[in-house]
Amino acid sequence: MDGPAGPAPRRAMTVARAILPALAAGLALIAAIGPGMEGRRELRDALIVVDITRSMNVRDMDGVSRLDATRDVLTRWIASQPCGTRVGLGFFTERRSLTLIEPVEICTDYAALTGTLAGLEWRMAWEGDSMVSKALNHALNRARGLDAALVFITDGHEAPPLPYSGPEGWHEDSLGGVILGAGGNEPAPIPKFDDLGRETGFYGSEDVQHAPSRIGAPPTDAADRPGFHPRNNPYGEADLEGSEHLSAMRGDYLTQLAGERGMGFARLSDGPAALEAALDAHAPAREVTTRRSLSPVLGALALAALLAALLSTPFHARKEII
């Protein structure tokens, strides 16, 4: 015989089984509409330009190449940025940069962005030269056209070497950014490849032009150099030997280039945190209105209501439903 309180729990369970599925359906419907909540947050647009010239194949980043280390650090940095951040990607060789992806929202296009980054390699270069200061100026102009800060990754190895007059200057406005120096402090051999892309050894002293480059006016002390001839050899012979076949990260040079262009400098080996700190100092973020979707929360509540309805159903009825 049912006691006085017997029918009450059964009625409560019946009401729960009727209300909870309706509640779950309602929450799911609202989630599908995609409601959101507006707020303010600081975001930054950036154009990443990566050096893919052959010195970036030097394996002095904890046993991996500079280019491999670049892919790793940049992928982790992109993953650490908040949704709404827009990042573009390009590379440089010779004196020009090529933009592969203009700045896109990282959460929507994360796979395309990181997939393209993973595919960067030295075989994409159309020239073997690495004119760092000229390529940096070209990339800065490109970043300014996209209204983005520049993240420029290079070891700073100029090939051919700089002329006696020094690097190309910068006389325009800049949106700021960071030069990220890749490589170690000790000169290391540069891998050499054949026409099929197979590594065949390392570049030797006889394979490269040594500093300074024989471009432009000769130095003022050229007449005192061995082998000088005013017509046949105005540079002398002091630049016929050197160590340009070895490569190290040119930190002082990159710091100079960055300072002249309103940019910061950081070392790739210090990871994404160092890049973020340098960007905070030299490419301030912009405050924007953002919209945060409530659909995930509503979807979770709908699932909870559905589970509660299932648990409130007797086991034999549950079997019939299944």
Q: For residue 270, count other CB atoms closer than 10 A to its CB.
A: 14
**pLDDT (0 to 100) of residue 1:** 45
Look at 92-101, 129-138, 158-167, 180-189 and tell me which has the smallest mean pLDDT. 158-167
Whole-number Cα distances in Å, 69 to 72, 190, 270, 284: 5, 16, 11, 26
Better-scored residue on pLDDT, 93 or 222: 93
How far apart, in whole angstroms, are the C-alpha atoms of residue 148 and residue 33?
A: 33
pTM above 0.85, yes or no: no
DSSP 130: B
- Cα torsion 67, 73, 75, 79 to 10°: value is -170
What per-residue string of b and e applies to 131-142 under the rule 16 or more CB within 10 Å gives b? bbbbbbbbbbeb
Tens digit of pLDDT for each residue in 220-237?
777 767 666 666 566 666
Question: Quick check: 16 pLDDT over 80?
Answer: no
Tens digit of pLDDT for each residue in 101-151?
999 999 999 999 999 999 999 999 988 889 999 999 999 999 999 999 999
- Alpha-helical segments (H) within the chain: 7-33, 66-80, 110-118, 132-145, 251-260, 271-282, 295-311, 315-321
Question: With contact defined as beta carbons under 8 Å apart, do 75 and 113 qualify?
Answer: no
Binned at pLDDT 50, 70 and 90, residue 321 comes out as very low
Better-scored residue on pLDDT, 76 or 304: 76
How far apart, in whole angstroms, are the C-alpha atoms of residue 92 and residue 115?
A: 18
DSSP 310: H
Q: For strands 86-93 and 45-51, give the pairing.
A: parallel
CATH architecture of 39-209+244-289: 3-Layer(aba) Sandwich (3.40)
Q: Which two tokens stand for residue 296?
A: 């995930």
**pLDDT (0 to 100) of residue 288:** 63
Q: What percent of the chain has pLDDT over 90?
A: 51
Question: Quick check: 211 pLDDT over 80?
Answer: no
Whole-number Cα distances in Å, 265 to 112, 262, 287: 27, 10, 24
DSSP 63: T
**pLDDT (0 to 100) of residue 226:** 66
**pLDDT (0 to 100) of residue 13:** 60
